[in-house]
Structure 1
């Protein structure tokens, strides 16, 4: 990929200009609740994504006397990181009010408040009332938000460049090679603004009741941004009368003392007596890994059983390079044979990770677990929600919620086989939401199915880096923020080659395709990237819907230094819907080929196929060829998206076409 000089201005933090102040529509209670999924009409994503127990309501659709910010998809801004790219900003004394669409006794609030001037976060109150009744207090925090600077980021808003020798898009330069060194606007590249809090309301409220969130007049936060409210009806706590109850082994449900050793004793007893471990309602302090093998651990439900820990600095680095430990449930290391028959369910894991240190094993769940299940966990504030290092096989991960991570939501890293990740909900990951990374040894036979991934701050919603016989199906991915796509198929990061087949079936993406800083171009909602090897496995992309694409729907690309080494072939698109592109339906910046059958597109902002090939612009045409297998209909202002004159390899290269904002998606 050619890296051209960039003249983009530094992207500043702040509220989108032109926000709309709304009159308060909530006092009469007449506002009609608008329920969405990933900020979309649920009918547009029926049958796709995770089956969740909550109803999502975007703040911009609620009654408020605050100010709507957005829409904006520019990285490093508050609207860009909001679900649907809009939110509501409250100043002290203002509120936003949601009308419940169905019975609920619990809420989750996704919000942002300012950082402390020197970093490290602040706390601020939020008042919750229902129907104007008794006040409940939530304490919001920005201690787990607000990262700055270049990867792997800093908590210091006043920090100088972490990598002065790296290309800096905003100033079109490599600072270390520039005399005098250019100044950067501080804070530089602020990001990861949002966090969320859960609250049990204490009783069940009816449809039509009004939940008001108020930034109180005495708030120490200059502003509070509310992105959305999730409301749900939480059932009674699960009880397991006959079990190794952790209380019997000295665990403290009030969280005043560390309960790790009590958990260890309960697990050892359960294994000897063939019982399950039960963790009753409470908040338990655990400040290290709990090693699990051949054991079932059940909580009372993720709203009731909370396992919470501090990040603890190690006196000397661990053999794996970790310099910290923290709360997490880990299978044994694969080098020790891994763990088997582990079953975790019904509890929350809350970490204390505020910085990204890639060598640290401070993940919610980790290690190697074969023939195991993980179900109904709620994980937040860890580095990665779940990170697995194989060899391991037959792991099933279902019905979990993973939010507010510093890095990935979940990663199958190395030699994970015949495993399934289904019906999980991931929001606000600091890297890929869901990933399969075949580093050193290939993953094989794995499936990501019916998951929802929203607002990954960096990188992709779902990423597959190499591997064999992989299926990505029926997922919903929305609002990737920067330097990534909704779905990426990448030969990169030292991954083993793609072999066998790759099936990408019946997924829906929304508002995807971000701005790539180094290349200064927009990415596709689905992005094939041949950086280190050819991509030539049997790849079928079938039945997917790409909605409201910021740039391209489909991108196939290599990198400039290797553009004559690697190609992408054997990719087949069939029964695809593309509803709205800022630029093209297909952008090809690589050698290779792909076929298209029954790919229907509308509201296409630029020429349907932006074909640059490998930028040699030969008389024979582009080095990338498209095959029309029929039924490819629709287009935009420039005509049919796949026109005969574009076939098979007409050069239509526009390196940076103007972006036309597409209309909101609608029923096909």
Structure 2
């Protein structure tokens, strides 16, 4: 019922022993979880269909990052390809797509988008097949604007297609890495990847998508058509296009008063190692009190640049790219790393950390193709107090930003973090008084944004107005222990497995929650999926008492939970500790629930919650599924719900209060209607 899941965190640490597969013959939306070529041909559209998290932007107004690009889903565009999905079943291409739909093209087919505004750059999110023996292939994608101005993108699957259990594998023919008792879903790989005996091969494929950016060379007007075509003879049997982001990129920024790395001899072509020159520029800048400037170009850096008391600016993250190969070390480093790679690191906390580091206006392109959790191959790492990270594009590293505290007063703002093997950002151990605001995170292989109070509390931090989409593993936003932290105004969408949208967990050895914890004005979209280990539905927001109880002052105010696959809200403990740990009290106020597959509240723990002005509609099964601690005492459930008034939609009926047992371990799932304006 509640198998204990040993799962450490990532960064320089061991991460999850993940056991997962969703054993559903059909997807939750009623679409077979099979080949990537299902669904009808889409209609031709004369107007752009701009979305946010694959929804009408009006439904998520005021939530998430203010980005400078327009998102268009491929399934809403003109195409002679085929729509795949909707499907929320892990290990399938639609499940990891934004909005759980995408378009499959075969050679000669296209998908065409209409520009909603003037643009000179596009980002394409896509998937192509892996090589039969792993390691990826390359394949062309032609880009034309109104039938002219042709360019060709070279797509790759080298950074996607992981297999197996944690820590995953790039080998589609490998057997299970952990053939232990907890490998319970061994026969459930989708039919597209069979035939199979006990352990099918490839086993549990996942992390299918990648993205690529392209400057178009000139500015194109609103109404012009961007056509993506798979040319005849393409090496890829199919190409899946998930979405296109279009934007008007400003000209490169110049900084004539800074220490220019070109003047010191850096190679802007990416052929020669630029790390020594950048380090020399940092040294000169510190002596002279100036900044470091990275002009337009590609700078090859195959190791960490250690930064302290310095400002490094690029010309803009579309123009200045710091790119490196992953390098195998001759012997493991003292922290256990087997590889190194491109990254900007503060000094170790053991050495006092770094201070007054300011990084902005460039991209970091890594070369991480596998998950090795002892490796420090993150784009930004170490400890950086009184620092800022702004306007970076972080791509193909293990973790975008992994901060090892103690450290304080760091601001992470306006960055794009994409296609990470593990987390997007993690405040690990004793990060205090810091802010993560206005960032856009897509396609992480673990939590999108996390605070992990591993031994020392993260405290006084805020995650605000960020967008997190399509984490293929774990949660969009997760808080593991700590004190006085806030999650506010975020937009999260389409978590796939082993987690959900918003999460607070007493787990991974984190120090207990103390003081306050606030979730305020967040929106979670298409969250609350089936946990394939427990085989029960999670909540769009869920609280988990595993290593201890959750006794902090917890308030959830103003959140919206849209189109939740199972539950909107879940409070749960592990079955082995269900009589030891509880969730004392969580207070929900001014919350909207628009569509659930099962319930508004699922309680599988002892404790209590209060509800005030919690409005719900489109509830699939029953408003409250109250199992308590599964002891089913005669006096009612060990979990109590208290009505503070104003709860509309009939979901919190008086007879349920405070602790009527309404337990259905596996309630029926009813597909909710799509979200609409309240």
Shorter-chain TM-score range: over 0.9
1:455-490 Cα shifts (integer Å, max 9, x gaps): 000000000000000000000000001111100100
Structure 2 residue 674 is matched with structure 1 residue 664? yes
1:18-60 Cα shifts (integer Å, max 9, x gaps): 411246x3xxxx6110000010110011111001000000000
Q: Give 1:630 shift.
A: 0.6
Aligned equivalent of 1:326, options 335, 341, 345: 341
Structure 2 residue 141 is matched with structure 1 residue 131? no
Provide the rounded CA distance (Å) in 1 between the counterparts of 2:494 and 2:570: 17
Aligned equivalent of 1:642, options 652, 669, 672: 652
- Do 1:554 and 1:585's aligned partners in 2 also have CA atoms closer than 8 Å? yes
Q: Which residue of 2 aligns with 1:177?
A: none
SS in structure 1 of the partner of residue 277 of structure 2: helix
Provide the rounded CA distance (Å) in 2 between the counterparts of 1:261 and 1:16: 47
Provide the rounded CA distance (Å) in 2 between the counterparts of 1:6 and 1:293: 44
Q: Give 1:10 shift.
A: 8.4
Q: In the superposition, relative to structure 1, how do residues 127 and 194 fare at CA in structure 2: closer, same or farther (>3 Å)?
A: same
- Stretches of structure 2 lacking an aligned partner (at least 5 in a row): 5-19, 27-31, 189-195
SS in structure 2 of the partner of residue 271 of structure 1: helix
Q: Which residue of 1 aligns with 2:193?
A: none
Higher relative contact order (CA 8 A, sep 6+): 2
TM-score normalised over the length of structure 2: 0.94
Please show how residues 584-623 of structure 1 align to structure 2 within 5 Å.
584-623=599-638
- Stretches of structure 1 lacking an aligned partner (at least 5 in a row): 174-180, 635-639
SS in structure 2 of the partner of residue 256 of structure 1: strand
Aligned equivalent of 2:459, options 428, 444, 448: 444
Q: Give 1:261 shift.
A: 0.3
1:430-474 Cα shifts (integer Å, max 9, x gaps): 000000000011101000000000000000000000000000000
SS in structure 1 of the partner of residue 235 of structure 2: coil
Q: In the superposition, relative to structure 1, how do residues 123 and 7 fare at CA in structure 2: closer, same or farther (>3 Å)?
A: closer
What is the RMSD computed on CA atoms of the aligned residues? Answer: 1.7
TM-score normalised over the length of structure 1: 0.96
SS in structure 1 of the partner of residue 272 of structure 2: coil
Structure 2 residue 39 is matched with structure 1 residue 19? yes
Q: Give 1:186 shift.
A: 1.1
Structure 2 residue 554 is matched with structure 1 residue 515? no
Aligned equivalent of 2:311, options 280, 283, 296: 296
Structure 2 residue 663 is matched with structure 1 residue 653? yes
Provide the rounded CA distance (Å) in 2 between the counterparts of 1:666 and 1:387: 37
Q: Give 1:249 shift.
A: 1.9
Q: Which residue of 2 aligns with 1:285?
A: 300
Provide the rounded CA distance (Å) in 1 between the counterparts of 2:484 and 2:2: 33
Runs of 4+ deviating beyond 3 Å: 1-18
Q: Give 1:149 shift.
A: 0.5
SS in structure 2 of the partner of residue 98 of structure 1: strand
1:524-581 Cα shifts (integer Å, max 9, x gaps): 1001000001101000000000000000000000001000010001210000000000
- Do 1:16 and 1:69's aligned partners in 2 also have CA atoms closer than 8 Å? yes
Provide the rounded CA distance (Å) in 2 between the counterparts of 1:13 and 1:90: 18
SS in structure 1 of the partner of residue 670 of structure 2: coil
Provide the rounded CA distance (Å) in 2 between the counterparts of 1:16 and 1:310: 32
Aligned equivalent of 2:411, options 383, 387, 396: 396
Please show how residues 75-86 of structure 1 align to structure 2 within 5 Å.
75-86=90-101
- Do 1:148 and 1:187's aligned partners in 2 also have CA atoms closer than 8 Å? yes
SS in structure 1 of the partner of residue 271 of structure 2: coil
Structure 2 residue 644 is matched with structure 1 residue 624? no
Q: Which residue of 2 aligns with 1:270?
A: 285
Q: Which residue of 1 aligns with 2:271?
A: 256
Mean Cα displacement is larger for which, 181-190 or 1-10?
A: 1-10
